[in-house]
Amino acid sequence: ALLDLTGLNEIKGVWKGSTTLPCAYVPVKDFVQQTLMWTVVHDQSSGTIFRRDGSGDHILLSEYRGRVSVLKDVPGNVSLHILNLEISDRGAYTCQVTWRASNNSLIAKDITTKVEVVKVAATKPVIRASEPGLTFPAGARTSLTCVASGSPPISYRWFRSTPGGKALLLSSQAELAWDSLRPSDTGKYYCEAENR
């Protein structure tokens, strides 16, 4: 089909994360993009988020300033990127493109994507070692990294078990690193991941 927009019907974004609302077309010779508009309808309000025209890019809704952008350098890709998603961002987002034909007539097309914003609990973390296996010679450098997914920010804590069953807090970073391992570093290490 000539000048059709493609996108998605529905997107689930992660609270505090980022998302891309796809909107794209295949450029056609003799049709020049005049305007691009991204509008949104929320439960209580609606408005124009983004407008691209001959005078440049304009972000019109203040709550999206500093959080939205549209690619410039890929012809036909006018997808909307949203950072730091808020629960209040959920709604119906419409991408509308207007083209001018060589005979000066205008053609407009639009597509709408429904956006949900979900809170995602931190997953059970996995531990990644700097090399395969967890047996090292004394004096070796090594590190362990704790990795989880979910709504950011995710905080990490490393513990080591001590005799008597108490856990000793070692670090509040995702990575636990040793410059030079000693035999006394042998033991059981735990990592914990947490988000809001």
User: Would you list the DSSP string of 147-191?
Assistant: E--SSSP-EEEEEEE-TTSPEEEEESSSEEEESS--GGG-S-EEE
Per-residue CA distances from 183 to 90, 125, 134, 169, 171 (Å): 54, 26, 13, 19, 20
pLDDT at 3: 87
Per-residue CA distances from 53 to 157, 166, 174 (Å): 49, 63, 44
pLDDT at 133 over 90: no
In this prediction, residues 144-161 reach a mean pLDDT of 93
pLDDT at 123: 93
- Rounded to two decimals, what is the model's pTM? 0.72
CA atoms within 13 A on the CB side of 128: 7
Q: How many residues does the chain have?
A: 196
Note the pLDDT tens digit of each residue in 62-77.
999 999 999 888 999 9
Note the pLDDT tens digit of each residue in 121-132.
999 999 998 777
Beta strands in 65-154 (DSSP E): 68-70, 80-82, 91-101, 106-118, 126-129, 142-147
Considering only residues 124 and 164, tell me which one the structure prediction assigns the higher pLDDT: 124
Q: Select from 82, 78, 143, 148 the least CA-distant residue to 117.
A: 82
Per-residue CA distances from 121 to 18, 69, 129 (Å): 16, 27, 24
pLDDT at 6: 96
- Answer CATH for 126-195 from 2.40.30.170, 2.60.40.10, 1.10.1740.10, 3.40.190.10: 2.60.40.10
What residue ranges of the chain are covered by domains with CATH 2.60.40.10?
5-118, 126-195
Note the pLDDT tens digit of each residue in 23-32.
999 999 999 9
% of the chain beyond a pLDDT of 70: 99
Q: Select from 109, 91, 183, 190 the least CA-distant residue to 139.
A: 183
The SS3 assignment for 192 reads strand
In this prediction, residues 39-68 reach a mean pLDDT of 95
In CATH terms, the fold of domain 5-118 is Immunoglobulin-like (2.60.40)
pLDDT at 188 over 60: yes
pLDDT at 1 over 60: no
